[in-house]
Amino acid sequence: MDKDILAYVSAASKDVRIAVGTEETTIEEKFNFEEYEVPAERHPDTQSNTDEAFGIITTGIEPLEITESGATITGYINTEKRRDVRLGTYVIVPYGEEDLFARIWKMQYKQEFAVDDATEIHSRRMLRSNTTDEVDYKFLAYLDPICILYSKGNGSLARRMSDRIPRPNTPIMPVKDKMKIQTGLNIPREGIFLGHLSVGGEMVKTHAVPPTVPYYMRNDYSMGDPLVFRHMLVCGSTGTGKTFLTKNILRQLMAQENRYNVRGTNARKNPCLVVLDPQDEYSQMLEDNPELTADDEFSFRSEKVDFGGCANTLTFVARVDGQSYNGRSRAQQLEFTIPFEMVRNNSWLMAPVGMTELQNQGVELLLEDFFKMAGDHTYDRFLDYISDDLTRENYVESGKIHEASYDGIARRVRDKALRRVFDQPARPIDKMLEEIIRPGQVSVFPTEYISNTRIRDLITLSLMTIIVDNKLSTKLNTPGETAVKETPIILALDEAHRYLASTSGEHSRRIVSKFADAARQGRKEGLGLCLITQDPQDIDDTVFKQINTRIILNLTNDAAIGALKVKKEYEKRIPYLKKGQMIVHSPDNSDMVEIMGLQSCVVKHI
């Protein structure tokens, strides 16, 4: 008799007597076996009641497999949970002392019973009376392992790469622990608030209060410089809420307690926010949003979201002949002009009038000689200089500038746009740097009131130049230049594709090169770029590569989507993102995720 079988015989059965020869004896006396106790099977503890489980890990369809290059992990989803599962849903598969953190990347129905449902009769029957029952089909979810969650010696939660395979029949649990989600996706616990984690436009909910999972951008020096100085891009089609979102982000950066290190000193200062505003919308950062409710404010405070207007907001208005600013700003307004002296080292400021390559080379020679002359270097005096017949004869006959190029330069330089913007009766912008660049101040430069696009471009390029030049300079000659150098600056540039586009022109290449240098040195110099655009594909690659955080709203242009280089599973979602829904690609901050921005603007927005 098999002793293994006897091991499971009940105690009562052991008393059954059998005959051995002429004697009767019990089974136990005959075989003299030891008592064997079946150990209770242990299952991993789950994070909550298994009634919450979506289903279980199964090997009935495909074998479980995990390799260095990927994994095959299939789950069976229970009928009552199938409506709760979405592509991208985050789940936990417990090991016991550790958890597998994963996302659902594929879903599939398979027949429970072998039935040919691809027939005319079956189709007509179902169209008349659909009696399909969920139990007639297997609903399968395929998991993409993200990481393993485990407790460190000090009790804190940490993550490592997925190096264990889950056990068959282990429950697949929804993630209801906020800390597990933040650790699993490598999301900082604090920083600059961008929005709430979501899947398919629905916010991820946990058992915490509040139940949403906030998404923060790292804003400390624990792992290098704050990510704002690694630069940020906000892109989306017209009407997708770029300005609304950008206002909310910039307001967080201007929080009173937000300070950054100043290079070469022990000082920590609030940043100065400089906004180049072509639509006259950012001056409203001065004002509170009157539509915020008490519930909104409670929610903001609970998740460390700053709200309310920035009291220290100023509007700087360019003096343009024939144009006046009558915009939305309630902030104090200060007028300025662009001095022609700025062209001395930045000849490409003449680029908006549309010169050819040969004309650009010629105007550089003219400007170089002009600024060597004694006296005032004004726009009008430069016009007199190039209009002089002796000057023309000198350059043409010496072969320095071709006759046709010289005449073309003279026509371009006389452009009315230049006459209307240079040396107007207002304070020169380079003499106002101490008023523009102050810690904790929002300095807005609206240009919507200027009808001439060449003037708008010239003003914007001048402002970009004066900030970047002084940030990168090693020679500080005035208090204003020192203020730029020693103050953390966030430069927000709307319609960035207009000024940082890829192009073949020498002057344009020099503009892009200057900003690429600024982007590369931004971390150590305390200069953060926030670029806002609907055409990210047009931004020059040398600048684009320096942008660490890319916030992507709805885009329908295939070229724009392709330029962002996001994972394919996220790339397909971009044309379907709803207003306020976005994808965040920030490798130095977290895994790529989808988030929902705030439903209310934290400052006034019309």
What is the per-residue pLDDT across 120-131, written as a single tens digit (0 to 9) for each? 988 998 898 887
Same domain, 485 and 529: yes
Q: Are 479 and 561 members of one domain?
A: yes
Q: Are 433 and 550 within one domain?
A: yes
Q: Note the pLDDT of residue 14.
A: 46
Q: Which helix (H) or strand (E) holds 576?
A: none
| Global model pTM greater than 0.95 | no
Helices (H), 526-564: 541-544, 558-564
Q: Which residues 6+ apart lie within 8 Å of 86 measured at CB?
A: 104, 199, 200, 202
Q: Can you give the residue range of the structural domain that contains 146? A: 55-177
Count CB-CB contacts under 10 A for residue 189: 11
- In angstroms, the CA 266 to CA 422 distance is 40
State how far the Cα of 532 lies from the Cα of 497, in Å rounded to an integer. Answer: 8
Question: Do the beta carbons of residue 430 and residue 437 sit within 8 Å?
Answer: no
Omega before residue 166 within 30° of 0, cis: no
Q: How far apart are CA 316 and CA 37, in angstroms?
A: 85
For 354-398, the pLDDT digits (tens) are 888 888 889 989 999 999 999 999 999 999 999 999 999 999 999
Shared domain check, 105 and 168: yes
Amino acid at 117: D
Q: What span, in angstroms and rounded, lies between the C-alpha atoms of 421 and 456?
A: 10
User: What is the per-residue pLDDT across 424-475, written as a single tens digit (0 to 9) for each?
Assistant: 999 999 999 999 999 999 999 999 999 888 888 889 888 988 888 888 887 8
Last residue of a domain, one of 144, 161, 177: 177
Using DSSP's 3-state secondary structure scheme, residue 17 falls into strand
- 250 and 133 share a domain? no
CA 309 vs CA 295, 331, 447, 519: distances in Å: 18, 11, 22, 29
Residues 249 and 317 in one domain: yes
Q: Are 184 and 197 in contact (CB under 8 A)?
A: no
**What is the number of domains present in the chain?**
3
Is residue 182, in this structure, part of any structural domain at all?
A: no
Residues 245 and 393 in one domain: no
Q: Using one digit for the tens of pLDDT, what is the confidence trace for 580-590?
A: 999 999 999 99
- pLDDT tens-digit map of 183-217: 999 999 999 999 999 999 999 999 988 899 999 99
Amino acid at 134: E
Task: Count the neighbouring beta carbons within 10 Å of the beta carbon of residue 469.
Answer: 17
The tens digit of pLDDT for each residue in 54-97 reads 999 999 889 999 998 889 999 999 999 999 999 999 999 999 88
Q: How many CB atoms lie within 10 A of CB 252?
A: 21
Is residue 581 in some structural domain?
no
